[in-house]
Copies of this chain bind each other. A is one copy, B any other.
Amino acid sequence: MVKISLDVMGGDFGPEVVIPGAARALERHPEITFILFGQREKCEPFLAKYPKLKAKSVFHDCEVAIAMDEKPSQALRRGRYVSSMWRSIEAVKTGEADVVVSAGNTGALMAMSKFCLRTMANVERPAIAGIWPTLKGESIVLDIGATIGADAQQLLDFAVMGGAMARALFQIDRPSIGLLNVGVEEIKGQEEVREAGRMLREAGLDTLNYAGFVEGDDLGKGTVDVVVTEGFTGNIALKAAEGTARQIATYLRAAMSRSLMSKIGYFFAKGAFDALKDKMDPRKVNGGVFLGLNGIVIKSHGGTDAEGFGSAIEVGYDMARNGLTQKIENDLKLYHTRFPSTSRAGSSSAGPEAA
């Protein structure tokens, strides 16, 4: 049994999307139980349509819903303890839920998650990991926007956390990890990326296979299981790729409706186009995962539909079932015990000082 906590008010559409999304996830994984947090009068009408979901859920009425454009600081002031967002996160802290899923605004969700769950020992800053569709399947890319900039040690923490996520999600023992960098000869990349590369090579970790630097076009190729970068570049790379996919879809639609011949062609090839659409469907890989907190938080796209929110729930389900938090904690501990000199202040004093 996996217990999933939902911020029903989150996202552009709130209960209208979250509740049907949960119903879809339940259809596929009947062993899920839900804890729902939302404004009762807004949720009831939708919940009434899904009696199976209602039977497998506990509903908690919350007075406050966080707006999509609310600043994190304001959201914290107004919504701490009382909002559907906060309380859905809190359910993970108290152990009532294994994972929380919200389509609410990223900044507020991250601020509340940090405040409520706190970062793990040895982790200075959490990261958001995205699941990137590739020619080989899927890769994990982090950080895609939790913070700006990262020093070598933080990049290394991202690598360990991303590796643990890959082990949980893809069920591989020793996922390959690449550091995102530029390939131009003269400029061999940021100093912190080079330093992180040296550290990863020297560490020789059992839980991950460091494959060196990768470039922007390796993301789509699926060259490695996990791509590590800091949040500014990661966020821009993600959005540039999404934008390109939308751009090509627009070209394709225009091309297919430009003549009678192409319309006939479209008619015959419709099955193929549907398969392509399915491949390119951003809803299928919906869901960023907050890593480095004492609990699993899944962020779904704010503008997603029920299918997309259902996918985000399934990502959370996979993470919880495979013990992601425990895996991350163990991997980080392993690393920081072996390399105590790299541990953060406060935690390093607990470990042995000699290598």
**Contact digits for A290-327, partner B, Cβ 8 Å, 1 yes 0 no:** 00000000000000000000000000000000000000
Contacts A215-B239, A259-B272 known; A145 to B182 CB distance under 8 Å? yes
Does A117 count as interface, using CB distance less than 8 angstroms?
A: no
Cβ–Cβ contact A105 & B265, under 8 A: no
Within 8 A of B (CB), among A242-276: 242-248, 250-252, 255-256, 258-259, 261-262, 264-273, 275-276
Does A202 count as interface, using CB distance less than 8 angstroms?
A: no
Contacts A276-B251, A280-B251 known; A187 to B231 CB distance under 8 Å? yes
Cβ–Cβ contact A185 & B269, under 8 A: no
Does A51 count as interface, using CB distance less than 8 angstroms?
A: no
Residue of B nearest to A71 (CB): B185
Does A153 count as interface, using CB distance less than 8 angstroms?
A: no
Cβ–Cβ contact B276 & A269, under 8 A: no
Cβ–Cβ contact A272 & B255, under 8 A: yes
Does A237 count as interface, using CB distance less than 8 angstroms?
A: yes
Cβ–Cβ contact A106 & B190, under 8 A: no
What secondary structure prevails in chain A residues at the interface with B?
helix
Contacts A134-B247, A232-B189, A236-B237 known; A107 to B72 CB distance under 8 Å? no
Q: In whole Å, how far is A328's beta carbon from the nearest beta carbon of chain B? A: 22
**Contact digits for A208-237, partner B, Cβ 8 Å, 1 yes 0 no:** 000000011111110000000101110111
Residue of B nearest to A237 (CB): B240
Q: Once the chains are docked, how many angstroms separate the CA of A233 from the CA of B148?
A: 12
Contacts A240-B237, A256-B272 known; A279 to B251 CB distance under 8 Å? yes
Does A165 count as interface, using CB distance less than 8 angstroms?
A: no
Cβ–Cβ contact B107 & A235, under 8 A: no
Cβ–Cβ contact B107 & A187, under 8 A: yes
Copies of this chain held together in the complex? 2
Q: Once the chains are docked, how many angstroms separate the CA of A182 from the CA of B276?
A: 29
Contacts A271-B259, A272-B258 known; A111 to B186 CB distance under 8 Å? yes
Cβ–Cβ contact B232 & A216, under 8 A: no
Cβ–Cβ contact B262 & A107, under 8 A: no
Q: In whole Å, how far is A156's beta carbon from the nearest beta carbon of chain B? A: 19
Does A351 count as interface, using CB distance less than 8 angstroms?
A: no
Cβ–Cβ contact B235 & A184, under 8 A: yes
Cβ–Cβ contact B217 & A240, under 8 A: yes
Within 8 Å CB of A247, what residues of B?
Answer: 134-135, 220-221
Contact residues of A with B, CB < 8 Å?
Answer: 69, 71-72, 105-108, 110-111, 134-135, 145-149, 180, 182-187, 189-190, 215-221, 229, 231-233, 235-248, 250-252, 255-256, 258-259, 261-262, 264-273, 275-276, 279-280
9 inter-chain pairs at a CB distance below 8 angstroms, sorted by A residue, are A71-B186, A148-B190, A182-B235, A218-B243, A219-B244, A221-B243, A241-B243, A262-B271, A266-B269
Closest 8 A/B residue pairs (Cβ): A265-B269, A216-B239, A107-B185, A265-B268, A217-B243, A107-B186, A262-B272, A220-B243
Kindly list 20 other residue pairs between chains A and B, CB separation below 8 angstroms, not including A149-B190, A216-B236. A71-B185, A106-B184, A106-B186, A107-B184, A107-B187, A135-B247, A180-B236, A182-B236, A189-B232, A216-B238, A219-B240, A220-B243, A220-B244, A240-B244, A241-B241, A252-B276, A258-B275, A261-B269, A261-B271, A261-B272
